[in-house]
Amino acid sequence: MAPPSTSTSHPGRYLTALVVLLIVMLAGVLGSNILDPSHWHKSFYVGRGLDLSSGTSVTLEAVTQKQPGQKTSPPPSAAAMAKAVQIITNRVEATGLTGATVVPQGSNEIVVSVPGAGAQKVATLVGETALLRMRQVLLTAPNYSSSTSSSSSPSASASPSPSASASPSPSASASPKSSASPTPSSGSGQAAAATKLGASASASPSPSASASASPTPSASPSTSGKQVLSTTADGTGDASLLTPAAAKLFDEVNCDAKDWKSQIYGANPNAWDNPNVQTISCLGGEKYAMDKAVVQGKDLTSVAAQDETTQGWVVTFNVKNPAAGALGKLTTTMVSQYYDSSTGQATSPLDLLAIVLDGDLQSVPQVSQAFSSSGEINGGSAGFSQSQATQLADVLKYGSLPLEFKNLYTSSVSPSLGSDQLSAGLFAAVVGLLLVVIYSFIYYRGLGIVSVLSLAIAALISYMSVVLLSKEAGFTLSLAGIAGLIVAIGITADSFIVFFERLRDEVREGRSLRAAVERGWGRARRTILVSDTVSFLAALLLYILSQGDVRGFAFTLGLTTLVDVLVVFLFTKPMITLLARTRFYGGGHPLSGLDPSRLGARAPWRGSRRPVATAAGGNGGASATTTSTREA
């Protein structure tokens, strides 16, 4: 039987693909420093988790009030705990702190871990629940506006004209109720949130082209067709009501920027939305200037989403004193001055009541009738679906969570402790790698070179992958993640062991090394893929079902499993194919690890398949049978 053809094996192509992959990853790691070798060392930084650097972990316990007739406090509801986790997570992420985790523990505890942050900062960060405010809108403008000249005369009034183009579209009203006004629809990421909250898709308040006076072009150079950032002069509402600080913010904030909140609140994680000052927020690509808060989350009670036959789904709520009195005065003024009951339309954005949660604008309902101690929000002409009403109710309800949290304990990790743990993890990795290398050379001799190089390349790809993830996705490596990388040494070793043993089995069968490589690879490949698939699925399920540091272990385990597949296909097998063509390995040198006699190979059977008779001569034609030999 002829050996399998090796003409289809092109090891050079696979090795070239590996080199290209390494070059691309290296270029991604170096980034803008690629032309500056003196800064290359800065590009290989990996973000560290709390247990490998320094930081703080805070454990919060939810405290509920005992109800009449109850001996002990009831446990917090799962919905309230889930919402608390979500709100605290959003707050932590908004500060730009990477590697932070917010994990529920049991039924009434939340553990917040923040690398690189002091205990006081973290305690301040999570010490309060969500901050909900209701504010009157004073001015609104699209984030960008088209301008036909670089400047215009201020004769174009910022206040709205009564035209339909400058005022909100009609929305349903009720007494004492507020109805969801239209919010701007644009390409901004906030637009989706507005839609979910039941905002209609009609145009938002914006400067009307038919306003009282057209802008008068100045003598400055024309910039026709150029998009410029809107200012208070482009807004609809009453810019004169803004404080100088709020007007300055309105002119400077760019809602399209990822860090627009930091432009308003700065680096202070607890600044969010000061109720005693005017502030700016964005929704659907629209900028809103809002007055001081008239209602805070703590003032709301009995928030619920209800299905009313006449109006569909609505959100109802009650307001406690003294906020109820202030709200009654404000809504009375809003309706009397900025709402036209004959048309059902607002004549100014000052009839909008903004709902703000942790500085994020959630909805801008239009006030159609005055209310104070109780109110109702409906979906306007578009109406609310059940999910939309429920989501808005959650925003109002959990703005002041029905839970109080007390700090059970705070633990800080010092830089020295994190450094010790990192050193211990790296030491374990080096020891494990060294043992695998020693075993490879003792058992596989010359083939040990391939196994060591495979491990080195797998380690290099894994390291650059972690660096890229740390740079582009904020990934931080924890002690559990290092454990996943150490386990990967065994996964990679297992793959080349499967291949080497299959290869040695083929040599034992008496096949030449070239034929044994291709035949052994065909059988080992299936085993390797099945093994890696099982390992990856286990890592994926562990990542989905687990939380905290266990997810870090699962992530690095899954990542290195994929790396193992790349290395086996792009390096281990092509390298063995090339070595089989050399005299040292192909000839079965005793130190190659493929010595047939050492492996107990069966000598090729030599002999004919049938006897060939030859005459021996002599009386009577006596004959003898001899057997000719040939290679089987």
Look at residue 558 in the predicted model and tell me its pLDDT. 92
Look at residues 357, 373, 391, 376 and name the one whose alpha carbon lies nearest to residue 365: 376
Which domains, from first to last, does the chain contain?
Answer: 11-46+413-599 (1.20.1640.10), 56-113+121-127 (3.30.70.3400), 132-146+159-208+223-402 (no CATH)
Tokens read off for 555: 């992530």
Angle CA 606–609–613, to nearest 5: 105
Q: Distance between CA 546 and CA 369 in Å, rounded?
A: 49
Q: Distance between CA 170 and CA 598 in Å, rounded?
A: 91
Task: Put residue 145 in one of left, alpha, beta given phi > 0 → left and psi -120 to 50 → alpha.
Answer: beta
Look at residue 216 in the predicted model and tell me its pLDDT. 38
- The answer to whether the beta carbons of residues 200 and 171 sit under 8 Å apart is yes
286-296 and 132-142 as β-strands: parallel, antiparallel, unpaired?
Answer: antiparallel
The string over 82-105, giving b where at least 16 C-beta atoms fall within 10 Å of a residue's C-beta and e elsewhere, is ebbeebbbebbebbebbbbbbbbe
- Mean pLDDT per block of 10 residues along the chain (632 residues) reads 51 92 89 78 74 76 73 79 77 62 81 68 57 87 64 37 32 38 34 29 32 38 59 88 90 82 63 79 88 85 80 84 89 89 85 83 84 78 76 68 69 68 80 86 88 90 88 77 83 86 84 84 90 92 80 88 93 90 83 76 47 43 40 34
Strand partners, 63: 404
Residue 17 CB partners (closer than 8 Å, separation 6+): 570
- The answer to whether the beta carbons of residues 14 and 578 sit under 8 Å apart is no
Q: Distance between CA 597 and CA 7 in Å, rounded?
A: 28
- The answer to whether the beta carbons of residues 197 and 387 sit under 8 Å apart is no
374-378 and 178-180 as β-strands: parallel, antiparallel, unpaired?
Answer: parallel
404-413 and 476-477 as β-strands: parallel, antiparallel, unpaired?
Answer: unpaired
Could you give the C-alpha distances from 399 to 132, 154, 164, 355, 519, in angstroms and in order?
A: 5, 40, 34, 10, 66
Could you give the C-alpha distances from 5 to 215, 518, 576, in angstroms and in order?
A: 81, 8, 16
Task: Put residue 99 in one of left, alpha, beta given phi > 0 → left and psi -120 to 50 → alpha.
Answer: left
Q: Distance between CA 110 and CA 129 in Å, rounded?
A: 12
- The answer to whether the beta carbons of residues 177 and 378 sit under 8 Å apart is yes
Chain-centre distance for alpha carbon 594? 48
Q: Distance between CA 231 and CA 140 in Å, rounded?
A: 10
Look at residue 98 in the predicted model and tell me its pLDDT. 57
Rg (CA), the chain: 36
Residue 142's SS3 state is strand
Q: Distance between CA 396 and CA 394 in Å, rounded?
A: 5
Residue for token digits 């079902």?
Answer: 545
The runs of H, that is alpha helices, within 350-414 are 386-397
The runs of H, that is alpha helices, within 398-512 are 415-444, 448-473, 479-508
Tokens read off for 159: 């206040």
Residue 103's SS3 state is strand
Look at residue 564 in the predicted model and tell me its pLDDT. 92
Angle CA 570–572–575, to nearest 5: 95
Look at residue 95 in the predicted model and tell me its pLDDT. 57
Look at residues 207, 201, 212, 209 and name the one whose alpha carbon lies nearest to residue 167: 207
Tokens read off for 364: 């801008």
Exposed/middle/buried for residue 449 (C-beta within 10 Å: 0-12, 13-18, 19+): middle
